[in-house]
């Protein structure tokens, strides 16, 4: 007799189903890992861009316009030494950090792939110490629901304004 018995067909189908399921799980896991890496990279890139822009502005800072001394805010404004960009304003707008220069319209520094959870600027100053800004920034990556929160980073920066 030639051909396959019913038992052989069932066994072959079971082996094929196991192989297809394992392949599907492997591909699915690879895609999830790629998405995690993309979200972490995007979060780090957005954080680095915001930090570099703040460092650029603060390296030339002459005067802190806001927040007031011994106050805190979700935005800050500075004037730079001999700059045509004055005032330079960083602000939390919804879940994005924005930058405006010379009173112009605000430009988003962060993109739609991330969410800014916290942006707090505190201004300290005493008679003996110059103006100091403490900036706390927390950014998390947005994922496609199933992954949950993949990447979240919080940094704290201190800047002394040159008198």
Residue ranges per structural domain of the chain: 6-160
Give the pLDDT confidence of 85-132 residue by residue, as tens digits: 999 999 999 999 999 999 999 999 999 999 999 999 999 988 777 889
Q: Where are the beta strands (DSSP E) in the chain?
A: 61-66, 71-73, 75-80, 88-93, 96-101, 107-108, 114-124, 132-141, 152-160
CA 141 to CA 150: how far, in whole Å?
7
Confidence of residue 146 (pLDDT cuts 50, 70, 90): confident
pLDDT value for 163: 64
Whether residue 1 is predicted with pLDDT greater than 70 in this model: the reply is no
């Amino acid at each position: 007799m030639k051909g396959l018995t019913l038992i052989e067909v069932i066994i072959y189908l079971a082996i094929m189903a196991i192989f297809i399921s394992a392949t599907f799980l492997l591909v699915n896991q690879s895609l999830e890992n790629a998405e995690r890496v993309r979200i972490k990279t995007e979060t780090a890139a957005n954080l680095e861009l915001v930090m570099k822009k703040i460092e650029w502005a603060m390296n030339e800072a002459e005067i802190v316009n806001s927040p007031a001394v011994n106050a805190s805010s979700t935005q800050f404004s500075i004037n730079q030494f001999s700059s045509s960009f004055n005032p330079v304003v960083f602000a939390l707008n919804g879940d994005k950090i924005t930058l405006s220069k010379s009173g112009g319209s605000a430009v988003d520094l962060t993109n739609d792939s991330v969410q800014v959870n916290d942006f707090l600027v505190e201004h300290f100053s005493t008679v003996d110490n110059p103006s100091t800004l403490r900036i706390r920034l927390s950014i998390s990556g947005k994922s496609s629901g199933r992954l949950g929160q993949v990447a979240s980073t919080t940094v704290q920066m201190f800047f002394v304004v040159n008198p």
